[in-house]
Structure 1
Amino acid sequence: MKPKYMPVDPGYFELFEQEMEKNDARVIHFAFASEPELEESRGKIIKIDDKSQEGHFLLFENGDEVRLDRIIVINGIPGPAYDEYDSYALAPLTCQAGYDDCFME
């Protein structure tokens, strides 16, 4: 099941439009899976599509479709899902490390 679309800050639309002008884009994004999983889409971005019930998507010339709120990085620039990705990366550094309570002695 896909998570509900989270609105994207309007500033990102400007970024995506700038990246559309390039002949090649590399986008790292979350896959729709039960566990956090990353995918990569690469190629020419041809447009931003608004699918009313599903959200906004980057459409690539090669047929790839990437939902905007799942983009972690586009051409090395942090995207809307970067903070979510960063929280997964930092989770082992917390005292909880996946547990509900910290054990303090």
Structure 2
Amino acid sequence: MADNKNESYLPVPWEYREVVEEEISKRSRGKIFFFDANNQVAEAKGSVTRIEEKKSEGVFVVLDTGSEIRIDRIITLFGKIGAAYNEYDAYANACLDCLGGYEKEDL
């Protein structure tokens, strides 16, 4: 299951790739939360076996279950912040930016 083929891959800072490589070396198992092909929050369970670069598609983590998740769409990896966390956090807090139908003077 390769995710987000319709969206352009966004290169991620090296520290996110380092987190993945560290979890591979520790053979960690757990949950990965990510944005799927429909831009909905999804989850996968297992351990990451490798990082794979696919031309014109992006960089993916490959799980022991065979699932593939694009690294730039990972929200959390075994509880650690992923490259898409800020996007998720901004989406989750979107309502906090509004005034709930009130004018600023009324608050």
Taking structure 2 as the reference length, the TM-score comes to 0.83
Q: Deviations over 1:61-101 (max 9, x none)?
A: 1111000000000111110000000011110111277xxxx
CA contact (8 A) 1:25 1:45 kept: no
Kindly indicate which of the two structures has a greater share of residues assigned to helix.
Answer: 2
Change (3 A) 1:40 1:55: same
Equivalent position of 2:32 in the other structure: 27
Equivalent position of 2:8 in the other structure: 4
Runs of at least 4 residues off by over 4 Å? 102-105
Q: CA deviation at 1:23?
A: 4.0
Unpaired segments ≥5 residues, structure 2: none
Q: CA deviation at 1:103?
A: 6.0
2:17 to 13, 35, 55: 13
Q: Quick one: distance in 1 between partners of 2:90 and 2:75?
A: 12
Number of aligned residues: 99
Which structure is higher in RCO with an 8 Å CA cutoff and minimum separation 6? 2
1:64 to 64, 67, 87: 67
Q: Quick one: distance in 1 between partners of 2:104 and 2:15?
A: 43
Identity of aligned residues (%): 35
Taking structure 1 as the reference length, the TM-score comes to 0.84
